[in-house]
Amino acid sequence: MDEHRVEIDWSSARATNLRNWDERVPMHVDGYELHAFDDPEHLSDVVEDDLAALLPFLPAQSLRGLDLCHLQCHIGTDTVSLARAGARVTGVDFSRPALRAASALAERSGVDATWIESDVLEARSAVSGDFDVVYTSIGTIGWLHDLDRWANQIVQLLRPGGTFYIRDGHPALFSLDEHSETLTTRYAYFGDGRALQWDEESSYSGEGTLANTRTYEWPHPLSEVFGAILRAGLRILHFDEGTTIPWRFSSRMVDVPHGFAWPEAERDLIPCTFTIVARRD
């Protein structure tokens, strides 16, 4: 039995996660190497990878002149990068300190952006206007308990003909024991409504120790992700799985361009990310 699985209501879990993410902001402002954005041509590694997958499905294969809503934007490095790629951007996040950091980065980078403080599951009621692209990438949906509600927000934010893009950690990866010397399954791949409870004093980026160590996440198998997107009325255009991820999931992972991967002998055994492109007809 998974010792991390717990019963907790959404509002309590969300409040606990918010305290954790608020506290991470100064650590990430230091750890994300924001000085790189002083170069007006700089894009985040995440966005460079995502653009290669997204642009073939956009009119003129470009973001230029398109309205884009970035859900769970955190401190705005990817949002600023998407603006530099040509989009008119709106970033949405539930953390006020994160949005203050994002606004400061955009101003420092000479980027025009709109920032909205909102839970992603209530985004449509908080964000005005409709969008050509709704984007979310890396480390997002595991924090959400209800993917049907999430997908319905996305559909309501998109204009007819608009495009949805997601890249995130693969649920098969998240089922592995991150401390094992082999690729060993430890955590549930399928969800049952319960959250996974974690207590970590550090974050994936930056130095320092957190006081608000507890977080809650939910496992979402690919069937649940696809099901939510399809039930919301989106049409799947593209699906892919990748072998690299932008953070070091396990200490056994090795450095590769734009992230980390399993040692080469194991690299083709397990996916690290999945990518979906879908459209509102």
The domain ranges of the chain are 5-280
Please report the pLDDT score of residue 3 as a whole number: 75
Helix axes 10-31, 96-109, angle to 10 degrees: 30
Whether pLDDT at 269 is above 80: yes
Model confidence at 76, pLDDT cuts 50, 70, 90, reads very high
Structure tokens at 187: 């955590």
Instruction: Compute the distance between CA of residue 68 and CA of residue 217 in angstroms, rounded to an integer.
Output: 26
Tell me the three state secondary structure of residue 9. coil
**Number of continuous H segments (helices) and E segments (strands) in the chain:** 8, 12
Residue-wise pLDDT tens digits, 220-234? 999 999 999 999 999
Residue holding tokens 């980026």? 205
Contact indicator for 203, 22 with CB cutoff of 8 Å: no
Residue-wise pLDDT tens digits, 176-197? 999 999 999 999 999 999 999 9
Whether pLDDT at 108 is above 70: yes
**How large a percentage of the chain has pLDDT more than 90?**
96
Strand ranges for 200-269 from DSSP E:
214-217, 234-242, 254-256, 259-261
Whether pLDDT at 1 is above 60: no
Rg (CA), the chain: 18
- Average pLDDT in the chain: 96
Please report the pLDDT score of residue 227 as a whole number: 98
Strand ranges for the chain from DSSP E:
5-6, 67-71, 88-93, 113-117, 131-137, 158-169, 195-199, 214-217, 234-242, 254-256, 259-261, 273-280
Instruction: Compute the distance between CA of residue 211 and CA of residue 95 in angstroms, rounded to an integer.
Output: 17
- Superfamily in which the 5-280 domain is placed by CATH: Vaccinia Virus protein VP39 (3.40.50.150)
pTM of the model: 0.96
Burial class (CB in 10 A: 0-12, 13-18, 19+), 190: exposed
Residue-wise pLDDT tens digits, 18-50? 999 999 999 999 999 999 999 999 999 999 999
Please report the pLDDT score of residue 51 as a whole number: 98
Strand ranges for 94-157 from DSSP E:
113-117, 131-137
